[in-house]
Structure 1
Amino acid sequence: MKPTRFESTIALIDKKNSEDPNVYRVHGLEYPKELLYSQRMTRKLLQFEPNASKALQIAARAQHICRWKIPRNDYPMDRVGYLKWRETLKKMHADITTTILEQVSYDDEFIDRITALITKKLIKKNEESQTLEDVVCLVFLDYYFEEFAEKHDSDKVVDILQKTWKKMSDKGRKEALKLQFSDKNLKLINEAIAP
Protein backbone atom coordinates (compact mmCIF):
# COMPACT_ATOMS: atom_id res chain seq x y z
CA MET A 1 0.00 0.00 0.00
CA LYS A 2 1.30 3.44 -0.93
CA PRO A 3 2.14 5.60 2.12
CA THR A 4 -0.02 8.67 2.72
CA ARG A 5 1.43 12.18 2.31
CA PHE A 6 1.56 12.45 6.08
CA GLU A 7 3.45 9.14 6.46
CA SER A 8 5.87 10.17 3.71
CA THR A 9 6.47 13.51 5.42
CA ILE A 10 7.28 11.86 8.78
CA ALA A 11 9.59 9.35 7.03
CA LEU A 12 11.44 12.17 5.22
CA ILE A 13 11.86 14.17 8.45
CA ASP A 14 13.21 11.04 10.17
CA LYS A 15 15.58 10.39 7.26
CA LYS A 16 17.04 13.90 7.65
CA ASN A 17 17.32 13.59 11.44
CA SER A 18 18.93 10.15 11.21
CA GLU A 19 21.94 11.90 9.59
CA ASP A 20 22.76 13.64 12.90
CA PRO A 21 26.41 12.80 13.69
CA ASN A 22 25.74 13.46 17.41
CA VAL A 23 24.55 10.44 19.34
CA TYR A 24 22.53 10.11 22.52
CA ARG A 25 22.75 6.99 24.66
CA VAL A 26 19.60 5.47 26.15
CA HIS A 27 19.63 2.12 27.98
CA GLY A 28 23.00 1.30 26.43
CA LEU A 29 21.85 1.99 22.84
CA GLU A 30 23.00 4.90 20.67
CA TYR A 31 20.57 7.01 18.63
CA PRO A 32 21.13 10.00 16.34
CA LYS A 33 20.37 12.82 18.80
CA GLU A 34 17.76 14.75 16.77
CA LEU A 35 16.04 11.59 15.53
CA LEU A 36 15.51 10.54 19.14
CA TYR A 37 14.36 14.05 20.08
CA SER A 38 11.83 14.17 17.23
CA GLN A 39 10.38 10.78 18.16
CA ARG A 40 10.08 11.90 21.78
CA MET A 41 8.26 15.03 20.58
CA THR A 42 5.72 12.89 18.71
CA ARG A 43 5.22 10.52 21.64
CA LYS A 44 4.76 13.37 24.11
CA LEU A 45 2.42 15.30 21.78
CA LEU A 46 0.12 12.29 21.35
CA GLN A 47 0.07 11.65 25.12
CA PHE A 48 -0.67 15.31 25.81
CA GLU A 49 -3.05 15.98 22.90
CA PRO A 50 -4.26 12.66 21.41
CA ASN A 51 -6.36 14.47 18.77
CA ALA A 52 -3.47 16.66 17.54
CA SER A 53 -3.92 17.73 13.91
CA LYS A 54 -1.61 16.39 11.20
CA ALA A 55 -0.08 19.89 10.91
CA LEU A 56 0.74 19.94 14.62
CA GLN A 57 2.18 16.40 14.45
CA ILE A 58 4.45 17.39 11.55
CA ALA A 59 5.56 20.59 13.30
CA ALA A 60 6.40 18.61 16.45
CA ARG A 61 8.38 16.02 14.49
CA ALA A 62 10.30 18.73 12.58
CA GLN A 63 10.89 20.96 15.62
CA HIS A 64 14.68 20.41 15.60
CA ILE A 65 15.19 19.08 12.06
CA CYS A 66 18.92 19.15 11.16
CA ARG A 67 19.68 21.27 14.23
CA TRP A 68 23.33 20.14 14.31
CA LYS A 69 23.99 22.04 11.06
CA ILE A 70 24.10 25.37 12.92
CA PRO A 71 26.19 24.88 16.09
CA ARG A 72 25.59 27.12 19.09
CA ASN A 73 29.25 28.19 19.12
CA ASP A 74 28.85 29.78 15.67
CA TYR A 75 27.30 32.69 17.60
CA PRO A 76 28.57 34.80 20.53
CA MET A 77 28.11 32.97 23.83
CA ASP A 78 25.87 35.64 25.34
CA ARG A 79 22.10 36.25 25.48
CA VAL A 80 22.04 38.19 22.19
CA GLY A 81 24.07 35.47 20.47
CA TYR A 82 21.77 32.80 21.87
CA LEU A 83 18.62 34.55 20.62
CA LYS A 84 20.16 35.11 17.18
CA TRP A 85 21.14 31.43 17.01
CA ARG A 86 17.59 30.37 17.96
CA GLU A 87 16.02 32.63 15.30
CA THR A 88 18.39 31.29 12.61
CA LEU A 89 17.58 27.72 13.65
CA LYS A 90 13.81 28.30 13.50
CA LYS A 91 14.13 29.66 9.96
CA MET A 92 16.28 26.70 8.90
CA HIS A 93 13.86 24.17 10.48
CA ALA A 94 10.95 25.83 8.67
CA ASP A 95 12.80 25.97 5.33
CA ILE A 96 13.85 22.30 5.40
CA THR A 97 10.33 21.25 6.41
CA THR A 98 8.81 23.39 3.65
CA THR A 99 11.00 21.63 1.07
CA ILE A 100 9.79 18.24 2.36
CA LEU A 101 6.13 19.34 2.35
CA GLU A 102 6.44 20.64 -1.23
CA GLN A 103 8.06 17.35 -2.24
CA VAL A 104 4.98 15.42 -1.10
CA SER A 105 2.60 17.99 -2.68
CA TYR A 106 1.05 19.70 0.34
CA ASP A 107 -0.61 23.03 -0.53
CA ASP A 108 0.71 26.48 0.44
CA GLU A 109 -1.92 27.04 3.12
CA PHE A 110 -0.96 23.84 4.96
CA ILE A 111 2.75 24.65 4.60
CA ASP A 112 2.22 28.18 5.96
CA ARG A 113 0.39 26.75 8.96
CA ILE A 114 3.30 24.45 9.79
CA THR A 115 5.86 27.22 9.22
CA ALA A 116 3.99 29.43 11.70
CA LEU A 117 4.10 26.60 14.27
CA ILE A 118 7.81 25.82 13.79
CA THR A 119 8.81 29.49 13.91
CA LYS A 120 6.82 29.87 17.16
CA LYS A 121 4.47 32.56 15.90
CA LEU A 122 1.47 33.33 18.11
CA ILE A 123 2.41 31.41 21.26
CA LYS A 124 -0.24 32.18 23.90
CA LYS A 125 -2.57 33.43 21.12
CA ASN A 126 -2.93 30.28 19.01
CA GLU A 127 -3.98 26.99 20.58
CA GLU A 128 -1.77 24.78 18.40
CA SER A 129 1.28 27.03 18.90
CA GLN A 130 0.75 26.87 22.66
CA THR A 131 0.30 23.08 22.57
CA LEU A 132 3.58 22.74 20.66
CA GLU A 133 5.34 24.98 23.20
CA ASP A 134 3.90 22.89 26.06
CA VAL A 135 5.20 19.71 24.41
CA VAL A 136 8.68 21.22 23.89
CA CYS A 137 8.77 22.07 27.61
CA LEU A 138 7.42 18.66 28.66
CA VAL A 139 10.01 16.83 26.53
CA PHE A 140 12.76 18.92 28.13
CA LEU A 141 11.46 18.26 31.64
CA ASP A 142 10.82 14.56 31.10
CA TYR A 143 13.92 13.55 29.15
CA TYR A 144 16.63 16.20 29.48
CA PHE A 145 16.09 18.17 32.68
CA GLU A 146 17.78 15.79 35.16
CA GLU A 147 20.94 15.74 33.01
CA PHE A 148 20.82 19.54 32.59
CA ALA A 149 20.44 20.01 36.37
CA GLU A 150 23.54 17.85 37.00
CA LYS A 151 25.68 20.23 34.93
CA HIS A 152 24.52 23.58 36.32
CA ASP A 153 24.31 25.29 39.68
CA SER A 154 20.97 25.58 41.48
CA ASP A 155 20.44 29.28 40.63
CA LYS A 156 20.81 28.61 36.89
CA VAL A 157 18.49 25.58 37.12
CA VAL A 158 15.81 27.59 38.97
CA ASP A 159 16.11 30.40 36.39
CA ILE A 160 15.64 27.96 33.48
CA LEU A 161 12.70 26.30 35.26
CA GLN A 162 11.02 29.69 35.78
CA LYS A 163 11.46 30.55 32.09
CA THR A 164 10.11 27.15 31.09
CA TRP A 165 7.12 27.47 33.44
CA LYS A 166 6.28 30.91 32.05
CA LYS A 167 6.01 29.50 28.52
CA MET A 168 3.53 26.80 29.51
CA SER A 169 -0.25 26.78 29.68
CA ASP A 170 -2.09 25.63 32.82
CA LYS A 171 -2.74 22.28 31.14
CA GLY A 172 0.98 21.93 30.35
CA ARG A 173 1.95 22.80 33.93
CA LYS A 174 -0.46 20.21 35.34
CA GLU A 175 1.09 17.60 33.06
CA ALA A 176 4.61 18.64 34.09
CA LEU A 177 3.81 18.07 37.76
CA LYS A 178 2.90 14.44 36.99
CA LEU A 179 6.45 13.69 35.76
CA GLN A 180 9.01 11.84 37.90
CA PHE A 181 11.93 13.87 39.27
CA SER A 182 14.71 13.17 41.75
CA ASP A 183 14.05 14.57 45.26
CA LYS A 184 16.78 17.18 44.77
CA ASN A 185 15.31 18.43 41.49
CA LEU A 186 11.74 18.31 42.76
CA LYS A 187 12.84 20.77 45.47
CA LEU A 188 14.28 23.08 42.79
CA ILE A 189 11.06 22.83 40.76
CA ASN A 190 8.96 23.72 43.82
CA GLU A 191 11.27 26.65 44.50
CA ALA A 192 11.02 27.81 40.88
CA ILE A 193 7.23 27.70 40.70
CA ALA A 194 6.49 29.05 44.17
CA PRO A 195 4.41 32.25 43.85
Structure 2
Amino acid sequence: MTATPFQNASKWIDAENAQDPNHETYQAITYPKELLYSNRMYERLMDFHPNASEEVQIASKAQHICRWKIARESYPMNRVGYLKWREDLKKFHAKTTAVILEKAGYSEEFIARVSFLIEKKLLKKDAETQLLEDVICLVFLEYYLDPFVHKHDREKMKNIILKTWLKMSEKGQQEALKINYSAANLELIKESLEL
Protein backbone atom coordinates (compact mmCIF):
# COMPACT_ATOMS: atom_id res chain seq x y z
CA MET A 1 0.00 0.00 0.00
CA THR A 2 1.25 3.46 -0.90
CA ALA A 3 1.77 5.81 2.01
CA THR A 4 -0.43 8.93 2.07
CA PRO A 5 1.15 12.41 2.03
CA PHE A 6 0.23 12.68 5.73
CA GLN A 7 1.96 9.41 6.61
CA ASN A 8 5.08 10.42 4.71
CA ALA A 9 5.15 13.92 6.20
CA SER A 10 4.69 12.50 9.72
CA LYS A 11 7.46 9.96 9.19
CA TRP A 12 9.86 12.61 7.87
CA ILE A 13 9.05 15.07 10.69
CA ASP A 14 9.71 12.27 13.19
CA ALA A 15 12.98 11.42 11.44
CA GLU A 16 14.14 15.04 11.72
CA ASN A 17 13.17 15.27 15.40
CA ALA A 18 14.79 11.90 16.15
CA GLN A 19 18.16 13.54 15.39
CA ASP A 20 17.89 15.79 18.47
CA PRO A 21 21.16 15.38 20.44
CA ASN A 22 19.26 16.36 23.63
CA HIS A 23 17.40 13.57 25.41
CA GLU A 24 14.62 13.29 27.94
CA THR A 25 13.70 10.27 30.00
CA TYR A 26 10.01 9.60 30.52
CA GLN A 27 8.67 6.52 32.32
CA ALA A 28 12.14 4.90 32.23
CA ILE A 29 12.52 5.31 28.45
CA THR A 30 14.92 7.87 26.96
CA TYR A 31 13.78 9.78 23.88
CA PRO A 32 15.25 12.49 21.64
CA LYS A 33 13.73 15.55 23.32
CA GLU A 34 11.93 17.09 20.33
CA LEU A 35 10.59 13.73 19.13
CA LEU A 36 8.99 13.24 22.54
CA TYR A 37 7.59 16.79 22.45
CA SER A 38 6.20 16.23 18.94
CA ASN A 39 4.49 12.99 20.02
CA ARG A 40 3.03 14.68 23.10
CA MET A 41 1.67 17.54 20.97
CA TYR A 42 0.03 15.21 18.46
CA GLU A 43 -1.46 12.93 21.13
CA ARG A 44 -2.82 15.86 23.11
CA LEU A 45 -4.33 17.42 19.97
CA MET A 46 -6.11 14.19 18.99
CA ASP A 47 -7.36 13.74 22.54
CA PHE A 48 -8.53 17.36 22.87
CA HIS A 49 -9.90 17.84 19.34
CA PRO A 50 -10.12 14.50 17.44
CA ASN A 51 -11.58 16.21 14.34
CA ALA A 52 -8.64 18.58 13.91
CA SER A 53 -7.77 19.30 10.28
CA GLU A 54 -4.74 17.69 8.66
CA GLU A 55 -3.06 21.12 8.65
CA VAL A 56 -3.35 21.42 12.44
CA GLN A 57 -2.24 17.82 12.92
CA ILE A 58 0.96 18.46 10.98
CA ALA A 59 1.52 21.84 12.68
CA SER A 60 1.22 20.12 16.08
CA LYS A 61 3.87 17.53 15.15
CA ALA A 62 6.21 20.11 13.62
CA GLN A 63 5.79 22.82 16.26
CA HIS A 64 9.41 22.44 17.49
CA ILE A 65 10.99 20.66 14.51
CA CYS A 66 14.80 20.72 14.79
CA ARG A 67 14.59 23.36 17.54
CA TRP A 68 18.06 22.50 18.85
CA LYS A 69 19.61 23.93 15.65
CA ILE A 70 18.98 27.50 16.83
CA ALA A 71 20.39 27.81 20.35
CA ARG A 72 18.93 30.32 22.80
CA GLU A 73 22.52 31.18 23.81
CA SER A 74 23.22 32.51 20.31
CA TYR A 75 20.97 35.52 21.11
CA PRO A 76 21.37 38.20 23.79
CA MET A 77 20.25 36.77 27.16
CA ASN A 78 17.59 39.43 27.73
CA ARG A 79 13.91 39.91 26.87
CA VAL A 80 14.65 41.39 23.43
CA GLY A 81 17.01 38.51 22.62
CA TYR A 82 14.44 36.00 23.83
CA LEU A 83 11.65 37.45 21.67
CA LYS A 84 13.92 37.59 18.60
CA TRP A 85 14.93 33.94 19.18
CA ARG A 86 11.26 32.90 19.44
CA GLU A 87 10.36 34.80 16.28
CA ASP A 88 13.26 33.31 14.30
CA LEU A 89 12.38 29.82 15.59
CA LYS A 90 8.79 30.10 14.31
CA LYS A 91 10.01 31.01 10.83
CA PHE A 92 12.64 28.24 10.93
CA HIS A 93 10.07 25.62 12.01
CA ALA A 94 7.65 26.76 9.30
CA LYS A 95 10.34 26.71 6.58
CA THR A 96 11.73 23.30 7.64
CA THR A 97 8.20 21.85 7.61
CA ALA A 98 7.37 23.44 4.23
CA VAL A 99 10.29 21.59 2.60
CA ILE A 100 8.98 18.28 3.99
CA LEU A 101 5.39 18.99 2.90
CA GLU A 102 6.49 19.89 -0.61
CA LYS A 103 8.40 16.60 -0.82
CA ALA A 104 5.25 14.79 0.43
CA GLY A 105 3.26 16.30 -2.45
CA TYR A 106 1.04 18.80 -0.63
CA SER A 107 -0.35 21.86 -2.44
CA GLU A 108 1.10 25.35 -1.99
CA GLU A 109 -2.14 26.40 -0.30
CA PHE A 110 -1.90 23.56 2.24
CA ILE A 111 1.76 24.34 2.96
CA ALA A 112 1.00 28.05 3.41
CA ARG A 113 -1.74 27.20 5.89
CA VAL A 114 0.57 24.94 7.95
CA SER A 115 3.21 27.71 7.98
CA PHE A 116 0.55 30.21 9.11
CA LEU A 117 -0.35 27.91 12.01
CA ILE A 118 3.23 27.15 13.05
CA GLU A 119 3.96 30.89 13.07
CA LYS A 120 0.88 31.26 15.31
CA LYS A 121 -0.62 34.05 13.25
CA LEU A 122 -3.90 35.70 14.28
CA LEU A 123 -3.94 34.13 17.73
CA LYS A 124 -7.36 34.59 19.40
CA LYS A 125 -8.83 35.39 15.94
CA ASP A 126 -8.12 32.25 13.92
CA ALA A 127 -9.83 29.17 15.42
CA GLU A 128 -7.11 26.74 14.34
CA THR A 129 -4.24 28.93 15.54
CA GLN A 130 -6.07 29.12 18.87
CA LEU A 131 -6.55 25.35 18.93
CA LEU A 132 -2.82 24.84 18.37
CA GLU A 133 -2.01 27.36 21.12
CA ASP A 134 -4.37 25.54 23.50
CA VAL A 135 -2.54 22.27 22.80
CA ILE A 136 0.88 23.93 23.31
CA CYS A 137 -0.30 25.28 26.69
CA LEU A 138 -1.84 21.95 27.75
CA VAL A 139 1.35 20.05 26.89
CA PHE A 140 3.39 22.62 28.80
CA LEU A 141 1.17 22.38 31.88
CA GLU A 142 1.03 18.58 31.84
CA TYR A 143 4.68 17.75 31.13
CA TYR A 144 6.88 20.82 31.51
CA LEU A 145 5.40 22.83 34.37
CA ASP A 146 7.09 20.72 37.04
CA PRO A 147 10.68 21.13 35.71
CA PHE A 148 10.01 24.89 35.41
CA VAL A 149 8.85 25.06 39.03
CA HIS A 150 12.22 23.69 40.16
CA LYS A 151 14.10 26.31 38.13
CA HIS A 152 12.22 29.53 38.93
CA ASP A 153 11.02 31.33 42.04
CA ARG A 154 7.35 31.35 43.01
CA GLU A 155 6.56 34.87 41.78
CA LYS A 156 8.08 34.19 38.35
CA MET A 157 6.15 30.91 38.14
CA LYS A 158 2.87 32.63 39.00
CA ASN A 159 3.53 35.07 36.17
CA ILE A 160 4.35 32.23 33.71
CA ILE A 161 1.17 30.32 34.68
CA LEU A 162 -1.02 33.41 34.35
CA LYS A 163 0.44 34.26 30.92
CA THR A 164 -0.09 30.66 29.79
CA TRP A 165 -3.68 30.75 31.06
CA LEU A 166 -4.50 33.98 29.23
CA LYS A 167 -3.28 32.53 25.91
CA MET A 168 -5.86 29.73 26.11
CA SER A 169 -9.49 29.58 25.04
CA GLU A 170 -12.14 28.85 27.65
CA LYS A 171 -12.32 25.25 26.41
CA GLY A 172 -8.55 24.95 26.80
CA GLN A 173 -8.70 26.36 30.31
CA GLN A 174 -11.40 23.85 31.30
CA GLU A 175 -9.23 21.04 29.91
CA ALA A 176 -6.19 22.35 31.82
CA LEU A 177 -8.07 22.00 35.11
CA LYS A 178 -8.52 18.26 34.42
CA ILE A 179 -4.75 17.59 34.31
CA ASN A 180 -3.44 15.49 37.16
CA TYR A 181 -1.04 17.96 38.88
CA SER A 182 0.96 17.37 42.03
CA ALA A 183 -0.71 18.92 45.10
CA ALA A 184 1.98 21.63 45.27
CA ASN A 185 1.60 22.56 41.59
CA LEU A 186 -2.18 22.62 41.81
CA GLU A 187 -1.88 24.97 44.77
CA LEU A 188 0.52 27.18 42.75
CA ILE A 189 -1.90 27.25 39.79
CA LYS A 190 -4.82 28.22 42.03
CA GLU A 191 -2.73 30.94 43.62
CA SER A 192 -1.61 32.25 40.21
CA LEU A 193 -5.17 32.38 38.88
CA GLU A 194 -6.69 33.46 42.20
CA LEU A 195 -9.14 30.54 42.01
TM-score by length of 2: 0.98
Q: Which runs of 5+ in 2 are unaligned?
A: none
CA distances 1:120-141 after superposition (whole Å, capped 9, x unpaired): 1011001000000000000000
Aligned twin of 2:29: 29
Aligned twin of 2:130: 130
Q: Distance in 1 between matches of 2:12 and 2:98?
A: 12
Q: 1:28: how far off?
A: 1.8
Aligned to 1:25, the other structure's residue is in SS state strand
Q: 1:183: how far off?
A: 1.4
Aligned twin of 1:121: 121
Task: Give the partner amino acid of 2:31.
Answer: Y
Q: 1:3: how far off?
A: 0.7
Q: 1:191: how far off?
A: 1.3
Task: Give the partner amino acid of 2:151.
Answer: K
Q: 1:52: how far off?
A: 0.5
Q: Distance in 2 between matches of 1:58 and 1:182?
A: 31
Q: 1:151: how far off?
A: 1.6
* TM alignment of 1:86-125, pairs within 5 A: 86-125=86-125
Aligned to 2:106, the other structure's residue is in SS state coil
Structure 1 runs of 4+ aligned residues shifted over 4 Å read none
**1:85 partnered with 2:81:** no
Q: Distance in 2 between matches of 1:34 and 1:162?
A: 25
Q: Using the aligned pairs only, state the percent identity.
A: 55
CA RMSD in angstroms, aligned pairs only: 0.8
Q: Distance in 1 between matches of 2:19 and 2:159?
A: 33
Aligned to 1:179, the other structure's residue is in SS state coil
Aligned to 1:20, the other structure's residue is in SS state coil
Q: 1:189: how far off?
A: 0.4
Q: Distance in 2 between matches of 1:107 and 1:158?
A: 43
Task: Give the partner amino acid of 1:74.
Answer: S
